[in-house]
Amino acid sequence: MNYPAQSSAAPVSMAPIPILMYHNIAPAPRDIRVYRSLYVSPRAFARQMWLLRRLGYVGLSMTAAAPYLRGEREGRVAVITLDDGYADNLQAAMPVLQRFGFGATCYVVSGQIGQHNRWDAERLGVSKPLMTAEQLREWHAGGMEIGAHTRTHPRLTQCDETQLRNEIHGSKAELEDLLALPVSQFCYPYGDYDDRVVGMTREAGFAAATTTHRGRAIPGTDPWRLPRIQVARHHLLPQFGMKILSGYEDRRE
Q: Any contact of residue 88 with Zn ion (CB under 5 A)?
A: no
Cβ-based nearer residue to Zn ion, 63 or 81: 81
- The CB-of-25 to Zn ion minimum distance in angstroms stands at 15
Cβ-based nearer residue to Zn ion, 132 or 230: 230
- DSSP state string for the chain: ---PPPTTSPP-TT--B-EEEE-EESPPPTT--S-GGGEE-HHHHHHHHHHHHHTT-EEE-HHHHHHHHTTSS---EEEEEEEE-BHHIIIIIHHHHHHTT---EEEE-GGGTTSB-TTTHHHHT---BBPPHHHHHHHHHTT-EEEE--SS---GGGS-HHHHHHHHHHHHHHHHHHH-S---EEE-GGG---HHHHHHHHHTT-SEEEEEEESPBPTTS-TTSEEEEE--TT--HHHHHHHHHSGGGTT--
- The CB-of-166 to Zn ion minimum distance in angstroms stands at 17
- The CB-of-99 to Zn ion minimum distance in angstroms stands at 26
* Choices 30-38, 68-76, 80-88, 209-217; region in contact with Zn ion by CB under 5 A: 80-88
Cβ-based nearer residue to Zn ion, 83 or 88: 83
Cβ-based nearer residue to Zn ion, 35 or 100: 35
Residues within window 170-189 making contact with Zn ion, judged by CB under 5 A: 189
Q: Any contact of residue 120 with Zn ion (CB under 5 A)?
A: no
- The CB-of-109 to Zn ion minimum distance in angstroms stands at 7
- The CB-of-87 to Zn ion minimum distance in angstroms stands at 15
Are 104 and 97 contacting, i.e. CB atoms less than 8 angstroms apart?
yes
Binding-site size for Zn ion (CB under 5 A) equals 3
Query: Going residue by residue from 34 to 73, which x/- string records binding to Zn ion, judged by CB under 5 A?
Result: ----------------------------------------
Q: Any contact of residue 83 with Zn ion (CB under 5 A)?
A: yes
- The CB-of-23 to Zn ion minimum distance in angstroms stands at 7
Nearest-CB residue to Zn ion?
83
Q: Any contact of residue 84 with Zn ion (CB under 5 A)?
A: yes
β-strand partners of 39: 24
Q: Any contact of residue 249 with Zn ion (CB under 5 A)?
A: no
Q: Which residues bind Zn ion (CB under 5 A)?
A: 83-84, 189
